[in-house]
Amino acid sequence: MKRLSSRSGGSLGGLSDEGGGPPPRSTRMLGKPSISLSLLLALLAMVVCGSTAFADKVDDLIGQLKDSDNKVRLSAALNLGKIGDKRAIPPLIETLKDSNNTVRGVAAAALGKLVDASVPAATRDAAIDALKDMAANDTGLAQTQAAKAYAAVKDLHSTPGGGGNATSSGGTGVNGKMIYVEIGPFADKTTSPDPKMLPFARGKVEAGLAKQFATQWPGGKSPTQADITKAGVKAYYVDGTLSTLTVAVSGSNATITCRASMLLATYPSKSVFAVVDPSHSKTELDTGSSAKEIAEGKQLCFEALLGDIVQKQLVPAIKMH
């Protein structure tokens, strides 16, 4: 049985159609029409009731955006996007903060359809700014849909440059993401380096960062400053060193200890603005003493340690920079 304890304490040094019912059909009358007053009043009542029902439908859907059920909120956001009523824009902006990633994504897509030049400037700008922030900082479907919606409406911002990207290039990011992270080669300074450990550790860091940021530049090359400016992204550099990996065997049990240091810099200038000191990043893992268990334990130790550093220190530092 394995027991894992991980600590990466401290902070970085130097330092998230329906429409209402169908419209009344127009009917071509042949011959001489004859409509009674009572029938005319009845038809008028039907039109008024139809308009009221449509308005109530939109209000109901807006209310459902606050429902406790994810599916109800998702359906409401989807239908508000289909109906096209501009009153839905402010509540949909609030829905971009929903706890469910899919609901946020559908709300972003709906805003991409609803926001146009007819929307009051203050509301329009609020939607565009919210989509811009979401495209840069969210994950998964929500981030993808926000990036698409933002690209569709950013030029409608009332303030010149106010709806622009992180740079003035007008780019649309890398695979829909507005932050790119270049992963360094990493180094192994442990006493008995394992040739398989370095690519394993580097891969785990890249996988963790790729959940929120772009880590592969199109074409597989490292981007130049011109590439970064054209794409309109912020770019960072992450590198690390495996500094300690020890195994203490006691009978049928073994305790594995691992430490690592990491740095965070701007890219391509590589100006370091944050570091993770190995004295503040340590993981211990208890496992069996067989060669297979120890080999697996070494990987699990660094996987837990580096995953903790990425999520608790690197990602927050990148977002705050």
Helix segments in 31-180, DSSP class H: 37-64, 70-83, 89-95, 101-114, 121-137, 140-153
Question: CA 44, CA 138: separation in Å to the nearest integer?
Answer: 49
Tell me which residue has tokens 């998702």.
74
Q: What is the pLDDT of residues 210-236, one digit of tens each?
A: 988 999 998 889 999 999 988 889 999
Which is more confident, 17 or 280?
A: 280
List the domains of the chain with CATH numbers. Answer: 38-156 (1.25.10.10), 177-320 (3.30.160.150)
Is the pTM higher than 0.75? The answer reads no
Task: Classify residue 6 by its DSSP letter.
Answer: E
Lowest-confidence region among 38-52, 125-139, 140-154: 38-52
pLDDT > 70? residue 10 = no
Residue 17 pLDDT: 37
pLDDT > 60? residue 9 = no
Residue 165 pLDDT: 38
- 270 Rama sector, left if φ>0, alpha if ψ -120 to 50, beta otherwise: left
Which run of H or E residues covers position 303?
helix 291-309
How many Cβ atoms sit within 10 Å of the Cβ of residue 191? 7
pLDDT > 50? residue 25 = no
Q: What is the pLDDT of residues 170-206, one digit of tens each?
A: 456 787 888 999 999 999 999 999 999 999 999 999 9
Q: What is the pLDDT of residues 243-287, one digit of tens each?
A: 999 999 999 999 999 999 999 999 999 999 999 988 888 899 999
Q: What is the pLDDT of residues 69-115, one digit of tens each?
A: 989 999 999 999 988 899 999 999 999 999 998 899 899 999 999 99
Q: How confident is the model at residue 238 (pLDDT cuts 50, 70, 90)?
A: very high
Residue 11 pLDDT: 45
Which is more confident, 35 or 267?
A: 267
Q: How far is CA 312 from the centre of its chain?
A: 16
Lowest-confidence region among 4-18, 145-159, 237-251, 270-284: 4-18
Tell me which residue has tokens 């009523």.
85
pLDDT > 50? residue 32 = no
Q: What is the pLDDT of residues 36-68, one digit of tens each?
A: 554 444 444 444 444 444 457 889 999 999 999
- Residues 162-166: what's their mean pLDDT? 43
Lowest-confidence region among 4-8, 127-131, 248-252: 4-8
How many Cβ atoms sit within 10 Å of the Cβ of residue 18? 13
**Residue 309 exposed, middle or buried by CB count within 10 Å (0-12, 13-18, 19+):** buried
Task: List all residues 6 or more positions away from 98 whose beta carbon is below 8 Å from its beta carbon.
Answer: 73, 104, 107
Question: CA 205, CA 13: separation in Å to the nearest integer?
Answer: 19
